[in-house]
Structure 1
Amino acid sequence: MSVTTQVDHPSGSAPTCPPPDPNPRQPRYVPPPGACDAHFHVFGPGDVFPYAPKRPFTPHDAPKERLLALHRLLGFERGVFVQSSCHGTDHRALLDLLAATDGRYRGVALLAPDTPADEVARLHAAGLRGVRFNFLPHLGGRPSLDGLRTVMDLVAPFGWHIEIHVTGKELLDSLDVIAGIRAKVVIDHIGRVDVAEGTSGFAFGALKKLLDRGNIWVKLSGVDRISRAGPPFADAVALARALARHAPQRVLWGTDWPHPNISRFMPNDGELVDLIPQIAEDTRTQQSMLVDNPTEFFDFEKT
Structure 2
Amino acid sequence: MTEIKTDFKAGVTTDIEPAAPLPRSVTMTPKLRLPPLACDAHCHVFGPFDRFPLPSDRSFTPPEAPEAALRTLHDSLGLARAVIVHSQGHGRDHRPLLDALAEGRGRYRGVAVLTPDTAPSEIARFDAARVCGVRFNFLAHLGGGPSAEAMRAVTALVRPFGWHIAVHVTGADLIRYADAIAAIDARVVIDHMARPDLEAELDVCRAILFRLLDSGRVWVKLSGSDRLSEAGAPYRDVVPYARSLAEHAPERVLWGSDWPHVNISGPMPDDAALVDLIAEIAPSTALRQRLLVDNPIELFGFGPSDDVVL
Match among 223, 226, 234 for residue 224 of structure 1: 226
Q: Find the aligned partners of 1:35 and 1:237 in 2 and give their Cα distance.
A: 20
User: Which residue of structure 1 aligns with residue 137 of structure 2?
Assistant: 134
Q: Does 1:88 align with 2:91?
A: yes
2:245 partner letter: L
* Contact map agreement 2:16 2:60 (CA 8 A) in 1: no
- 1:250 is aligned to 252
Deviations 1:106-145, CA, capped at 9 Å, x for gaps: 0000001100000000000000000000001111111011
- Cα offset for 1:55? 1.4
Deviation at residue 54 of structure 1 after TM alignment: 2.1
* Structure 1, unpaired ranges of 5+: none
Deviation of 1:265 after TM superposition, in Å, equals 3.0
Q: Does 1:119 align with 2:118?
A: no
Q: Is the 8 A contact 1:129 1:298 kept in 2?
A: yes
Equivalent runs, 1:1-303 vs 2, <5 Å: 9=12, 15-197=18-200, 201-303=203-305
Q: CA separation of 1:11/1:125 partners in 2, compared to 1, >3 Å: closer, same or farther?
A: farther
CA change 1:5–1:111 in 2 (3 A) is closer
Tell me if structure 2 keeps the 8 A contact 1:171–1:191. yes
Aligned residues of 1:198 and 1:239 also touching (Cα < 8 A)? no
In 1, the alpha carbon distance for the partners of 2:241 and 2:95 equals 35
- What do residues 208-259 of structure 1 show as CA deviations (whole Å, max 9, x unaligned)? 1111110100000000001111011111122111111111111000100000
Following TM superposition, by how much is the alpha carbon of 1:9 offset from its aligned partner in structure 2, in angstroms? 2.2
Structure 1 position 47, deviation (Å):
2.1
Contact 2:10/2:62 (<8 A) preserved: no
Shift of 1:13: 6.1
**Structure 1 residues 180 and 21, CA gap change in structure 2 (3 angstroms):** same
Deviations 1:10-64 (A, max 9, x none): 7786523321111110101011001000000001122211222121210110011
Q: Is the 8 A contact 1:89 1:109 kept in 2?
A: no
Contact 2:12 2:54 in 1 (8 A): no
- Following superposition, the deviation at residue 104 of structure 1 comes to 1.5
Identity %: 53
TM-score by length of 1: 0.95
TM-superposed deviation, 1:8: 7.4
Structure 1: how far apart are the matches of 2:262 and 2:85?
12
> 2:180 is paired with a residue of what secondary structure?
helix
Deviation at 1:93? 0.5
Unpaired runs of at least 5, structure 2: 1-6, 306-310
SS in 2 for 1:24: strand
Name the SS for the 1:174 alignment partner: helix
Tell me if structure 1 keeps the 8 A contact 2:10–2:63: no
Equivalent position amino acid for 2:38 in 1: A
Q: TM-score if structure 2 supplies the norm length?
A: 0.93
For these two proteins, the number of residue pairs brought into alignment is: 299
The 8 Å contact of residues 11 and 46 in structure 1, kept in 2 or not, is answered as no
